[in-house]
Amino acid sequence: MGNTIDTATRANMTNLFRQILNIECKTLDVGNATGLTDYIDYIKQSDLSEQISKGVDSFGREFIVWKTECLLTNNNKFIVFKTFTTFFKRYAESDSVLYHTCGHDGQNLFATEGGCSKEQMEFLLKLLTDKNIVLNKEQIESYRIILPNYSKLDDDATLQIIIK
């Protein structure tokens, strides 16, 4: 993601985060829970009464958490898998634009080492809004989607991601 973010990108990412958190869904009260790290990695799938929930952790960081069902079509094979991902602002300070995914109760949907990109945030907003999205090989790689047990995507690979 780089060490610096220009002013326009910073404003865009802040706006995208607000839009993501404005998605209609239940509020998950995590109380004063904390995990082994400073990430919001202690939420379990059984904590959600619906596929998407949002909340605020004990550090004042807003988050949204969701479950997906995915169908990867690759090399004439079909792989079905599920993900469980928490997306949050790493630091509660208002000027921070460092966002991450985490969770230890299932596979994350996409990787955010070094911070989430603006493009990943746009993808996430579309997924949470539409609840069904199909990605091609280029998008799968660009959004850093985490796929189970694959070696190489063929040129015609697709991934359908559903929140239901």
Q: What is the pLDDT of residues 61-110, one digit of tens each?
A: 999 999 999 999 999 999 999 999 999 999 887 778 999 999 889 999 99
Domain contains 1:
no
Q: Residue 2: is its pLDDT beyond 70? A: no
Q: Is residue 136 part of a domain?
A: yes
Residue 68 lies in a domain: yes
pLDDT tens digit sequence for 3-39: 578 899 999 999 999 999 999 999 999 999 888 787 8
Residue 83 placed within a domain: yes
Q: Residue 2 falls within a domain, yes or no?
A: no
Number of independent structural domains in the chain: 1
Cα distances (angstroms) measured from residue 126 to each of 44, 74, 122, 130, 135: 24, 23, 6, 6, 12
The answer to whether residue 157 sits within a structural domain is: yes
What's the whole-model pTM score?
0.92
Residue 164 reports pLDDT greater than 70: yes
Domain interval for residue 121: 7-162
Both tokens of 25, joined, read 């869904």
Q: For residue 89, how many C-alpha atoms fall within 13 Å in the half-sphere facing its CB? A: 24
Residue 61 lies in a domain: yes
- Residue 1: pLDDT band (50, 70, 90) is very low
Query: Would 115 be classed as within a structural domain?
Result: yes
